[in-house]
Amino acid sequence: MALTPITSPEPPNPQALARPDFKWLYIRKASERERKSASATKADRIRVTRKRKSAEELGKQQYNLLSILQLSNATTLRSKTGKGFNCAFCSEVFAEPADLKMHNIKEHKDVKPKAIMNKKILYGNYVKLDVTALECSLCGSALEMLPDLMEHLKHKHGKRLYTDIEDRILPFKFDSVDVTRCVVCSAEFVSFNMLQRHMNAHYRNHVCEECDAGFVNKRLLRHHMKYTHQLGEFRCNFCEKVFGTKSKRNDHEKSVHFGFKRNKCAYCSERFVCYKKRNKHVVDVHNKPPIVYKCHACDKVFDMRYKLSQHTKKDHLMERKHECDVCEMKFFMKKELEKHMVKHSGEKNFTCQVCLKTYARKNTLREHMRIHANDRRFKCDKCSHAFVQKCAWRSHMRTKHDVTV
């Protein structure tokens, strides 16, 4: 019987031994995919819910804003630049917020929903509203603030308004000609831009994690982070100095290289130390009409806001805060009271160096010095007479020519 030779089995393939169990791996990967899919589906659901909620909230905000603009005299404003207050709906610019308000009421009262979504209005998702002398357009009732208006519209006129959301509105009032007051805390500011920065203290919607500073919107927070906390090497544009942050670099340039010329022309790169010189430059160089502040009680106009404020208080409100404790006369300015007090004290501290006469007031001495200089600046246009003092000229015109000047 023939024997079948015994053959040794082939040595196992090391790669084959190392090959994984594909069936088990497939099951494991499938379960991972299912878990990821379930997780993704849940995340998608959360994302969709958030988007739906955000869209619903935005729709309510838009509806509330549209109702406020159409049912009251509240008006929008876009921003304040060197040119003035910018209209949110068109390119018009106005020196005074009252003029912008009248323009809005006349030109943009019938606001359309699409216009409300304009990026110029919803800049940073917050709308600036002028609520000065707020009134209901339906019945003429005067309201103090926007929440009062909304309650009035709901309960008095049956209007549907959403009170379950936060209305992204920044309210401003322009009651005074010389200062702008915060509607939240009544703090006073000499400029609208300073008031806008102050509003961050009340509307802390976005807070800096570095310094706890609050801001109205994300844009302002990003600007703050970039200029205050973003570290790097920021070289001065005028010298070799290098600073750790942009804000330090900018402060250095303003104080050292601009010479405190903080009043920049809105039409070119020129800067000026004072506001008045900048306004003159705008008129002379750019042929723009001069900025004037009109008195609403009379026909007078002024080139500076503070002059209008002083005129209103002194001539129309008859404000007299400084009282003489001797004769009880009252004065608008402290300086006027100090001049008046020499009547009671009898002091004559101003001496003429020519004739040694003494006077109680420096201005009187100055007028007296014209006698020694023969400065006869007040001339009669009816005859050849000329006078040193204005009072003498007026007396001459009245007695000799029967003319009151």
Q: Are strands 234-235 and 214-215 parallel, antiparallel or unpaired?
A: unpaired
Instruction: Compute the distance between CA of residue 312 and CA of residue 244 in angstroms, rounded to an integer.
Output: 48
Question: Which residue, 291, 235, 237, is CA-closest to 266?
Answer: 291
Where are the domains positioned within the chain? 52-175
Instruction: Compute the distance between CA of residue 199 and CA of residue 169 in angstroms, rounded to an integer.
Output: 11
pLDDT at 138: 93
Name the 3-class secondary structure at 364: helix
**0.75 cut: is pTM over it?**
no
Instruction: Compute the distance between CA of residue 94 and CA of residue 91 in angstroms, rounded to an integer.
Output: 10
Residues of the chain under the 70 pLDDT cut: 1-40, 42-46, 48-49, 112-125, 177-179, 259-262
pLDDT at 117: 58
Question: Which residue, 334, 338, 361, is CA-closest to 349?
Answer: 361
Asked if residue 174 lies in contact with residue 180, where contact means CB atoms within 8 angstroms, the answer is yes
Class of residue 231 by CB neighbours under 10 A (exposed 0-12, middle 13-18, buried 19+): exposed
Per-position DSSP letters for 59-77, written without gaps between them: HHHHHHHHHHHHHBS-EE-
Instruction: Compute the distance between CA of residue 220 and CA of residue 209 in angstroms, rounded to an integer.
Output: 14
Q: Where does 208-257 show beta strands of DSSP type E?
A: 214-215, 234-235, 242-243
Alpha-helical (H) ranges within 145-191 are 146-157
Question: Which residue, 152, 134, 127, is CA-closest to 203?
Answer: 127
pLDDT at 157: 94
User: Angle at Cα 368 formed by Cα 365 and Cα 373, nearest 5°?
Assistant: 125
From residue 92, alpha-carbon distances to 48, 85, 101, 149, 268 in Å are 40, 9, 12, 28, 19
pLDDT at 279: 84
pLDDT at 37: 59
Distance of alpha carbon 245 from the chain centroid: 25
Q: Are strands 386-387 and 378-379 parallel, antiparallel or unpaired?
A: antiparallel
Instruction: Compute the distance between CA of residue 37 and CA of residue 33 in angstroms, rounded to an integer.
Output: 6
Residue 80 CB neighbours (<10 A): 19
Name the 3-class secondary structure at 278: helix
Question: Which residue, 188, 150, 191, is CA-closest to 65?
Answer: 150
The token pair at 325 is 């404790």
